[in-house]
A and B are shown apart, each in its own frame.
Chain A
Amino acid sequence: MSLATTESVAEIKARNKQLIDEVLKVYPEKTAKRRAKHLNVHEAGKSDCGVKSNLKSIPGVMTIRGCAYAGSKGVVWGPIKDMIHISHGPVGCGQYSWAARRNYYIGTTGIDTFVTMQFTSDFQEKDIVFGGDKKLAKIIDEIQELFPLNHGITIQSECPIGLIGDDIEAVSKVKSKEYDGKTIVPVRCEGFRGVSQSLGHHIANDAVRDWIFDKISPEAKPAFEATPYDVAIIGDYNIGGDAWSSRILLEEMGLRVIAQWSGDGSLAELEATPKAKLNVLHCYRSMNYISRHMEEKFGIPWCEYNFFGPSKIAESLRKIASFFDDKIKEGAERVIAKYQPLMDAVIAKYRPRLEGKTVMLFVGGLRPRHVIGAYEDLGMEVVGTGYEFGHNDDYQRTAQHYVKDGTLIYDDVTGYEFERFVEKIQPDLVGSGIKEKYVFQKMGVPFRQMHSWDYSGPYHGYDGFAIFARDMDMAINSPIWKKTKAPWKDAPRPSLMAAE
């Protein structure tokens, strides 16, 4: 495999363009026209990837996207561990997303911590017909009775809530007053809103602004003494412990992390964040909104960073340090130097096994670009990438800092397109989600889930990079991929490459 490396960039571009033309042929004309805008071959030097994004998915094409509820409950709010998040509506949404995202946390589940639980109003027909506000009020009472140590409640709206005209804001206000100003956050993240998870992130960010920040009393006694080195980690969901293997580096360089958003996060941390001196932002897509808000309202600067792979980690540590004094700058250098031998050893071990291998990605928020550096640190090449729910500013960042000339770009890829692309390009590895995993493995293509880290991780930070390298090696170099064809069969690869 890895044929791409033997081809010139011009050849690759021509092949990718041809591939795009080919996949578009399957669609009815109207659909082909719409899909064409989401597919492109990257031209070096362009300010973005030349694709349209954040537009409605087309009916019937098998989009990989989810919904606003998934963006709010599943991503932003769900990991806040000491609050109870009610999946408000029918049972399914909460059921399918129950503990599926590996947001690690420490706590006594069911007593003072609730992340891996499924609280739902389990709407029945009568709730649709008569409205669910009374039920919601009762649910809050029952939560207070049975889970007295919860620090707050959020109401994660499912589709019917907005359609039947329930007033969850009013219920929240009444109940908050009844329970001495308890934090109760109504979130209007009905699944039909917007075009993907992305609007759910935004709505969830706005809910933090309106129902947490705006309710903090200016006279409230600070929970801790501020220091000049206080920062908040924004947009790390602690998948497999990512936020922890990130936090440790920030603390080692002399910073103090006062909040994690939202992996292993707590209400107190959300409330304390306006005291940070700097917000460091990992998943730009899902939490740029609140970062901008804090910049405008509280004057807190924010700084994007990338903790995948030693090159980007070092770059990011220095960038973060640049907001602080020499003590921190020296701290960053110290941290980089400390982990250099580990990184050297990891690369010495894995790079020879992975050098020149090609990767195609299709993931969510930040990963379609952020992980590229980590692959490159291992001598691998990302030959195709795309965002499930990215916006143009994601593609700008991708074009300007990450992808190479000729990379195939596919926004909101359809099942059909992704299969054809992989079938023809024959990458050594595909990184995407659970819905894609088995499709490509059946085709004999090694795969890693890049949402859940395929139940491994963490992948962030120096500690995480060692795991990332190990996992990519075990995926690509697993002996099983040599056995997909029975030895008694003449076995041309399924690839259409041979025909070219």
Chain B
Amino acid sequence: MTQNAEHVLDHFELFRGPEYQQMLANKKALFENPHDPAEVERIREWAKTPEYREKNFAREALTVNPAKACQPLGAVFVAVGFEGTLPFVHGSQGCVAYYRSHLSRHFKEPSSCVSSSMTEDAAVFGGLNNMIDGLANTYNMYKPKMIAVSTTCMAEVIGDDLNAFIKTAKEKGSVPAEYDVPFAHTPAFVGSHVTGYDNALKGILEHFWDGKAGTAPKLERKENDKINFIGGFDGYTVGNIREIKRIFELMGIEYTILADNSDVFDTPTDGEFRMYDGGTTLEDAANAIHAKATISMQQYCTEKTLPFIQGHGHEVAAFNHPVGVSATDDFLMTLSRISGKPIAKTLEQERGRLVDAMADSSAHIHGKKFAIYGDPDLCYGLAAFLLELGAEPTHVLATNGNKAWAEKMEGLFASSPFGKNCHAYPGKDLWHMRSLLFTEPVDFLIGNTYGKYLERDTGTPLIRIGFPVFDRHHHHRYPVWGYQGGMNVLVKILDKIFDEIDKNTNVPAKTDYSFDIIR
């Protein structure tokens, strides 16, 4: 017996003891019908080969370890960014349990969302009664200022009509007639969570700007000097939005952050649970129509929203999750041009510091090869930053990236000598990435938590940037946007590089001559 009260052993150590090891070996040998270890080894090696890669890339139907989620997750992410708003997902209830868990595991925060809990009878008769009862309950229990409705695939397959259902629910008195219930259809079998973000945000803006589903006059735009800002689906929303606010304030630009969930995903522990915190006020959401321009930080999160806004007379500009010097330069110059305000001195200094840091450390990154996967915009932003560091973003993969994204990526690669041997992989998954890492190895992998399986299998060190990050804490509190955000990304990459160098040079009397104190 190895367990003891003085030093309690948990799963990290307990099962490594001889009793457990023996027990597990017996279990396998006697009862599991295991394959011959030589055969397992043969297949393991075969799965690393170009031949396997070819078969792997020939897949037409099977998806293995995708790097994308479904639409309603993005809709929930948007909804909680509005003041006092509770997301309401019409359809099966298990989905909502999943979104809440998923967001809580990433942000280490509560995640509030309700479901209309449709079951078999609703599958047959439609979910109208669920909508009627659900809205009434939500409204009475949680006193939200707004209920933002989206759908699971169940409701979409049976064809429930949100507009009509919400109208009926209001007629039945579930919520007051003038109460804000924006909605968006968010079928899980179209696009991904970034599509859901787009649909939900468009739904909310449409609600406020275009006459609240026919119940109010459309707003008439009276242009002012404000700029609207849309972050897109972003695991770093807490740090990023705060950084963006700081930038706007430094430049003296009046702004509205749309879907500002930076506070609700970062509430204090002070004795009070805040179901709602911060967020874009409903008034601001409506008044956002008057802004002179709207900026989206993530083009692929706002493919419908941005044209919708443009249609209301705004100048619009979209970026691709800008990280690093040039991307931030572009972002700031755009802000400056639109607002007519000069770029703040402080920001200029910050720019200089980021360039300084990159110059100081460039020797360690220059020429290193990276694989990146994640959402399309994040992939683009990170690849662009690596290029300006003289690194090569060799494999860039977005499960929810499309052909247009791939072309855009190829354009980026073509713009830099370091992009010469780089390729974009739209619509592929992490099992494809596994083959890429075996057949065309790189020095580092950038991705979300699930990249740790690739790191384990292929030995490619993982730098965790993306969503979700479940197994490291608090990174979402630090921005990756702005020059300061670029600094955070730089340091994260450098830390991993240096850790790897140390790890590879620490065998006494063998490799320790490179185990340097000064690097």
Contact = CB atoms under 8 A, between A and B. Distances in A.
A186 B287 CA distance: 52
A151 B274 CA distance: 48
Interface in B40-76: 40, 43-44, 47, 52, 55-56, 59-66, 68-70, 72-73
A389 B27 CA distance: 32
Interface string A390-411: 0000000000000000000000
Contact of A462 (B3, B55, B110, B154): B3
A415 B112 contact: yes
Interface string A427-449: 00000011101111111100000
B154 A163 contact: yes
Given A92-B70, A120-B63, A163 B100 contact: no
B414 interface: no
B10 interface: yes
Interface size classification for chain B: 35 or more
B119 A194 contact: yes
Contacts of B108: 438
A259 B61 CA distance: 34
Interface in A56-96: 56-70, 82, 89-93, 95-96
A31 B137 contact: yes
Contacts of A484: 269-271
Nearest to B434: A110
A67 B142 contact: no
Task: Point out which of A61, A159, A414 has the most chain B C-beta atoms below 10 A from its C-beta.
Answer: A159
A28 B140 contact: yes
Given A92-B72, A142-B62, A146-B59, A110 B47 contact: yes
B109 interface: yes
A438 B267 CA distance: 10
Contacts of B360: none
Contact of B5 (A28, A109, A345): A345
Interface in A168-185: none
A122 B40 CA distance: 28
Contact of B188 (A91, A151, A346, A491): A91
Given A192-B119, A266-B31, A143 B40 contact: no
A160 interface: yes
B104 A435 contact: yes
A477 to B, nearest CB: 15
A160 B187 CA distance: 11
Contacts of B192: 91
A440 B273 contact: yes
A90 B70 contact: yes
A497 to B, nearest CB: 13
Given A67-B92, A438-B110, A124 B190 contact: yes
B134 A59 contact: yes
Interface string A136-175: 1011001101101101000000111011100000000000
Contacts of A117: 64-65, 453
B489 interface: no
Contact of A119 (B40, B64, B190, B268): B64
B32 A63 contact: no
A303 interface: no
B3 A435 contact: no
B296 to A, nearest CB: 24
A193 to B, nearest CB: 6
A439 B273 contact: yes
A349 B1 CA distance: 18
A112 B94 contact: no
Contacts of B105: 100, 434
B273 A419 contact: yes
Interface size classification for chain A: 35 or more
A281 B371 CA distance: 46
Given A160-B154, A456-B10, A457-B11, A61 B24 contact: no
A405 B430 CA distance: 53
A435 B111 contact: yes
Contacts of B69: 91-92, 95-96
A66 to B, nearest CB: 4
A159 B92 contact: yes
Interface in B1-43: 1, 3-6, 8-11, 14-15, 19-20, 23-24, 27-28, 30-35, 39-40, 43
Interface string B468-486: 0000000000000000000
Interface string B342-372: 0000000000000000000000000000000
B102 A96 contact: yes
16 contacts: A31-B140, A58-B117, A62-B112, A95-B66, A95-B69, A96-B101, A106-B24, A149-B40, A163-B123, A191-B154, A192-B118, A264-B27, A266-B33, A435-B104, A463-B14, A494-B271
Interface of A: 26-28, 30-31, 56-70, 82, 89-93, 95-100, 104, 106, 108-112, 116-125, 127-128, 135-136, 138-139, 142-143, 145-146, 148-149, 151, 158-160, 162-164, 191-195, 197, 223-224, 240-241, 244-245, 247-248, 251, 257-260, 264, 266-269, 272, 338-339, 342, 345-346, 348-349, 414-416, 419, 433-435, 437-444, 456-458, 462-463, 466-467, 469-470, 484-486, 491, 493-494
Leading 4 A-B pairs by shortest Cβ distance: A67-B94, A92-B70, A59-B134, A60-B134
